[in-house]
Homo-oligomer: A and B are copies of this chain.
Amino acid sequence: MQIAELRTPAMLIDTDRLAQNCAFMAHRAHTLGVRLRPHVKTHKVPEIGRMQVADHFGGITVSTMAEAKAFSAAGFSDITLAVPLDPRKASEAVALAVNVLVDSEEALAAVERVAGGCPRPRVWLKVDCGYGRAGVNPQTESAVRLASRIHASPSVDFAGLLTHGGHSYARIGSAAILDVAREERDAVVKFARRLRDHAIEVDEVSVGSTPTMMHVDHLEGVTEIRPGNYALFDGFQAQIGSCPRDWIAATVLVSVISVHADRAIVDAGALALSKDSGLGDAGYGVVIDLSGMAVANLSLVSLSQEHGKLMGDGVSQLRVGDRLRIIPNHSCLAVACFETIYGVRKGVVEHEWTPCRGW
């Protein structure tokens, strides 16, 4: 099937680009001397996950129990759920042998209550390296106490320290992102040293976001990295400088459904692209043509549920029924809009993939 035959809106994944991105990060991890445990939340498709783990140990990172179940069913066996564990989900996480992460006594206690089998559940301590989302503050005594509790627990294995430099998404350009990458690495490596000084063994030290892993200078003291978005990249990653724009593998095929003097409407709205806005006045995505070339003077200025509004001089070139493609600002949220996504190569649909969904 040619992409021109697809119903719109449709999520297209350029499989050449995807393969190159996966190979790039796999190679980069080897160069940096770390294992790659890719995050799969960007696409939630086991087939793509297999491309990400090629040439590494096979472990992955997920953001929901639904992803853990789907990827486990597809044969993945070393899965880390990288969101602090909801205590109510402890028993199913343990039953599925998912590595969990905790940053509270309550979550640890919940895992201990349901543990008891062999092997023991592997528990990561989530560390905040400056992002200010989840994770213990590694400067505090309570962080050491919680690490000590996990380490001393008779019913769980202490996997190690895990952090996410998500504040890299608020930095623009290589130098600024490199600062965050160092902060991310140094925060956990230093904390691991401190724990070892307290006779707490720390086997693993896990870091990673796509921006920081594209820019970090070295990863001494780190054992694994968990970038995910890099498989597809997106408009935002290109804007902040994580990748060149032509590395982006995800685009949304759209139809022009209304053309007027000052604007045109396409059939991709917030339920196909998400409401994630780009930097500054970048709008809701970059308009390209079917061959991938940027379309001059067309901005996607607003989205409602099922309408995307284009403005700019380029509108005069459009006709109802024309096809365009939109580079989404945030591929993780855009892919999740679709029941089916299409792996395409040189304009031909080669794969139909079904992202998993829910929690």
Chain A residues with a Cβ under 8 A of chain B = 7-9, 41, 63-64, 83-89, 103-104, 106-107, 110, 126, 128, 132-137, 166, 255, 257-260, 262-263, 265, 267, 270-272, 274-277, 304-307, 309, 319-321, 332-333, 336, 338-339, 357-359
Compute how far the CA of A267 lies from the CA of B87 in the bound complex, rounded to whole angstroms: 12
Would you call A133 and B320 a contact (CB within 8 A)? Answer: no
Would you call B321 and A88 a contact (CB within 8 A)? Answer: yes
Would you call B134 and A83 a contact (CB within 8 A)? Answer: no
Would you call A306 and B63 a contact (CB within 8 A)? Answer: yes
User: What residue of chain B has the Cβ atom nearest to residue A358's Cβ?
Assistant: B339
Would you call B85 and A257 a contact (CB within 8 A)? Answer: yes
Would you call A7 and B258 a contact (CB within 8 A)? Answer: no
A-B contact pairs, 8 of them (CB 8 A): A7-B359, A126-B258, A133-B304, A134-B258, A134-B307, A137-B260, A271-B333, A339-B357
Give the 7 A-B residue pairs with the shortest CB-CB distance, closest first: A106-B320, A275-B275, A134-B258, A104-B320, A84-B257, A84-B258, A87-B321
**B126, B305, B320: the one within 8 Å of A333 (CB):** B305
Which residues in B have their C-beta under 8 angstroms from that of A358?
Answer: 338-339
Which residues in B have their C-beta under 8 angstroms from that of A332?
Answer: 305
Chain B nearest Cβ from A212, distance in angstroms? 15
Which residues in B have their C-beta under 8 angstroms from that of A89?
Answer: 7
User: What residue of chain B has the Cβ atom nearest to residue A108's Cβ?
Assistant: B320
Which residues in B have their C-beta under 8 angstroms from that of A9?
Answer: 359
Would you call A265 and B133 a contact (CB within 8 A)? Answer: yes
Task: Give the oligomeric copy count.
Answer: 2
Would you call B333 and A275 a contact (CB within 8 A)? Answer: yes
- Say what secondary structure dominates the interface of chain A: loop
**B86, B275, B276, B339: the one within 8 Å of A255 (CB):** B86
Which residues in B have their C-beta under 8 angstroms from that of A106?
Answer: 319-321
User: What residue of chain B has the Cβ atom nearest to residue A140's Cβ?
Assistant: B261
Which residues in B have their C-beta under 8 angstroms from that of A307?
Answer: 83, 133-134
Would you call B265 and A274 a contact (CB within 8 A)? Answer: no
Which residues in B have their C-beta under 8 angstroms from that of A319?
Answer: 106
Which residues in B have their C-beta under 8 angstroms from that of A133?
Answer: 258, 263, 265, 304, 307, 309
User: What residue of chain B has the Cβ atom nearest to residue A8's Cβ?
Assistant: B86
Compute how far the CA of A116 lies from the CA of B277 in the bound complex, rounded to whole angstroms: 44
Would you call A88 and B7 a contact (CB within 8 A)? Answer: yes
Which residues in B have their C-beta under 8 angstroms from that of A277?
Answer: 275
Which residues in B have their C-beta under 8 angstroms from that of A41?
Answer: 305-306
Compute how far the CA of A9 lies from the CA of B83 in the bound complex, rounded to whole angstroms: 13
- Knowing A274-B270, A305-B333, A358-B339, the reply to whether A104 touches B263 (Cβ < 8 A) is no
Chain B nearest Cβ from A150, distance in angstroms? 15
Compute how far the CA of A193 lies from the CA of B83 in the bound complex, rounded to whole angstroms: 60
User: What residue of chain B has the Cβ atom nearest to residue A266's Cβ?
Assistant: B86
Which residues in B have their C-beta under 8 angstroms from that of A333?
Answer: 270-271, 275, 305
Compute how far the CA of A59 lies from the CA of B305 in the bound complex, rounded to whole angstroms: 21
New A-B contacts (4) at CB < 8 Å, excluding given A7-B89, A83-B307, A84-B265: A8-B359, A84-B258, A103-B258, A133-B309
Compute how far the CA of A336 lies from the CA of B339 in the bound complex, rounded to whole angstroms: 12
Which residues in B have their C-beta under 8 angstroms from that of A260?
Answer: 103, 128, 136-137
Chain B nearest Cβ from A110, distance in angstroms? 8
Which residues in B have their C-beta under 8 angstroms from that of A134?
Answer: 257-258, 265, 307
Compute how far the CA of A338 lies from the CA of B128 in the bound complex, rounded to whole angstroms: 30
Which residues in B have their C-beta under 8 angstroms from that of A255?
Answer: 86, 88
